[in-house]
Structure 1
């Protein structure tokens, strides 16, 4: 009877709002005696506001945009969170031989995808060569609490900031005694625990279509971050050629391969976020080999003449063995 009374005190709460040019949403199980939903929301939005102030490339007063405005051979004191994400990005860059790179903002702007973009366009070879001189993770270094650059590079955290935000939110929820939740920011998410009725948090992996939403697979998640990167939402076409917002920093051009989307499952949402981008850049063959070599749980959706072909690797299959597809 005591257990039944306790269960009756559990409720499923939810809230959300705008963030990072998109939205966030939180669903969680509130147990008797825990903070009011308004207090939980205030804590979450405080985290999101801080990350926006530190890392947004869409506001001129953010810490990273002030750094981006600096000339070559400059340094700036940075919050620990920014330096942490620089370290994550540098590791992903080294692991991908420079294909993944946080300093691609000049390329994003040149092709019309960035905050300073002037319309989608295919740049000239000369303009591309000039922009590439301002791209390269090796131009960044950390000295104590300062971020330094030896070229006029500009950092863009869009490939990992949302995942980092989800991890921060998850940590704050845990500090508040919340042990069952689904936290999502701009599509990056983490699920822990179960709903009040005991059922799992279920996540739909979408088919990469821009006309409607179709679930390729639904997975039950507990204790993991989930991130999907794809080329089907942000792209333009010129003369029959498709140009996506996903760039290989080594070439300075949007990727050209058949990998439409890739989902990564990882205990840390920031790593799921970064790795899904990295695998999308590498493509269906190199990305697959990378995921297998590093035991990364990944689900690939590949374009074929007959539509889409899905492929999950061994690490992914181990995580979701026994779940109905």
Structure 2
């Protein structure tokens, strides 16, 4: 007799990573062994963190950051994959997403050290080159080199890739459907046992409470949100968004409250959400239309309220979207 969804048990796994937590939600038979899966997922995201962290002095990314211009550095395959994606999205976004902003990220206090006035001044005055003009990748030989001094930062893409690794690890353990997340980046595989999509809340951009702005159902897609209301620094009484404007080497001056992007993989959704914050609604929607990206911009409304928006260019196979609520 074939099994039905009532034979399945809900499994929820989670653990620490990258200064936050990862999670995995899926349904399998009641006697499914989760211990090995949990360990494999923890190892997968730990590997991403060890390779791509700017907080770990011995990370592979920091080895590249410390290298002299012209020096080839051998890098692991996963890091090479993320660097390739970062450069490609950097070019496609006309520089709105740029992995070469490590000096500015650190200067403004979004890295492992506090904000530093001298470093901020240097970051703002520095002549800016795009990472795709400076970093040369040699995937066939697993190596990379810089053609000028530059510090790379993957905070706008590494968590999304970590989510993809969670999903890949699930597949290796015969888990064909589930919802996987790190912070505000999520990826859905398949559907829930009853055939419905995975319910994802797009958060209302509010500093003081956590509440949903809208709910969508996601299948075989990923979603990521970048915003100005969860991660920031206070400098001189001014709250500054953690998203750096690559053109100026400083936090965005008047960013949207949030930008949410849906893509096939979470690495891409993560990076494009950052790019859309930098571009803003007007330029972002133009590029989204050109590239057929699914993007939702939200903005802060009047005092005490929050604005609303709709997904633009949404051609994904999703169900029961409720994304125009205010």
The verdict on a shared fold, with TM-score over 0.5 as the criterion, is: yes
The 1-side partners of 2:292 and 2:4 are apart by: 40
Query: Among residues 125, 129, 138, which one is paired with 1:129 in the alignment?
Result: 125
Pick closer, same or farther for the CA change 1:126–1:297 going to 2, 3 Å: closer
Provide Cα deviations, 1:125-144, integer angstroms capped at 9, x if missing partner: 455324x5687441100133
The 1:178–1:322 alpha-carbon spacing in structure 2 relative to 1, beyond 3 Å, is closer
TM-fit CA distance, 1:210: 1.9
Distance 1:270 1:127 in 2: 27
Report the secondary structure of 1:308's partner residue: coil
CA distance in 2, matches of 1:47, 1:309: 38
Q: Which moved more, 1:38-47 or 1:168-177?
A: 168-177
1:71-115: CA deviation from partner (whole Å, max 9, x where unpaired): 222220011111111111111111222221101110011111122
8 Å contact 1:11–1:196 — kept in the other structure? no
Q: Mind listing any 5+ residue stretches in structure 2 that lack a counterpart?
A: none
RMSD, matched Cα: 2.4
Which residue of 201, 204, 208 maps to 1:207? 204
CA distance in 1: counterparts of 2:74 and 2:94, whole angstroms: 28
Question: Which of 92, 96, 100 matches 2:97?
Answer: 100
Question: 2:135 aligned with 1:140, yes or no?
Answer: yes
Q: Is the 8 A contact 1:194 1:201 kept in 2?
A: yes
Q: Distance between the aligned counterparts of 1:233 and 1:76, measured in 2?
A: 35
Q: Distance in 2 between matches of 1:201 and 1:50?
A: 27
1:258 shift after superposition: 4.4
The question of whether the paired residues in 2 share the 8 Å contact of 1:201 and 1:221 is answered with yes
Cross-structure match for 1:69: 66
Moved over 6 A (4+): none
Q: Residue by residue, what CA displacement relative to the aligned partner does 1:26-54 show, whole Å, maximum 9, x if unpaired?
A: 111113675x0111111111211211221
Aligned to 1:312: 310
Is structure 2 residue 284 aligned with structure 1 residue 287?
yes
Matched residue, 1:87: 84
Partner Cα separation in structure 1 for residue 188 and residue 61 of structure 2 = 29
By how many angstroms is 1:14 displaced?
0.8
The 1-side partners of 2:121 and 2:43 are apart by 44
